[in-house]
Amino acid sequence: MARSKKTRKGGENGPKFAPRVKKADRKNPEGKRGETGKKSGSRHNETLLKQNAPSSAGKSTDPRHGSKKPVALTPVVKAPKPAEKDKPKQPKMTDEQKLLKLEDDPRLNNLLDMLEEGRDLSAEDQKWLDLQLDQIERLMERLGLNETEPAKNTKKPAKSDSDDDLLARFESGENLLNDYFSKD
């Protein structure tokens, strides 16, 4: 018996196919979907980005997410501060040395000069000056240089002084003041 090849045609009982439609008449291709998204490599093409980007006020339109901060690839090692730990301890100053140091302070001297001239000090300067003067007073008390009690020998002005005596004392002080100014 002779061999017969199978045919691809189904014949009468075979499946029926839809009639052929021309490309121009087709609306959507079945096998391929429409293109969505950006083209590959679009984020690296600066000219396309500049053309397509709206002119926003200095805002970058980079579509990538995440931080743009550069990352160090080697570990950062912080060296300990040797200045703080290796400081040699200085001997403590005596009260006399502290007092001399405070009295030689140029800022203190300038502020005291300004007060003597009658100028007003800022609140900050006044606060600093009060602290320094309090500290000087404490040191003087420790050293015994400050007289806290008035001397018993000093004579208190008597209330029975007459007006003439008070006027005479005032005028004698005026003469001393005039002598002081005339020396300059």
What are the boundaries of each domain within the chain?
A: 93-144
Q: Which of 22-36, 45-59, 118-132 shows the lowest per-residue confidence on average (mean pLDDT)?
A: 45-59
The pLDDT tens digits for 110-159 are 988 988 888 888 899 999 999 999 998 888 888 887 665 555 555 555 55
Angle at 102 between CA 132 and CA 129, to 5 degrees: 25
Residue 171 predicted with pLDDT over 70 = yes
Residue 184 predicted with pLDDT over 70 = no
Angle at 132 between CA 127 and CA 133, to 5 degrees: 100
Angstrom distances, CA of residue 115 to CA of 42, 81, 111, 126 = 74, 43, 6, 10
Q: Give the C-alpha separation, 166 to 157, whole Å.
A: 10
What count of other Cβ atoms lies within 10 Å of the Cβ of residue 115? 14
pTM reported for the whole predicted model: 0.34
Q: Read off the pLDDT of each residue in 75-84 and give the average, rounded to a whole number.
A: 73
Percent of the chain with pLDDT over 70: 74
**Contact of 121 with 111, CB cutoff 8 Å:** yes
Residue 3 predicted with pLDDT over 80 = yes
The residue with greater pLDDT, 166 or 83, is 166
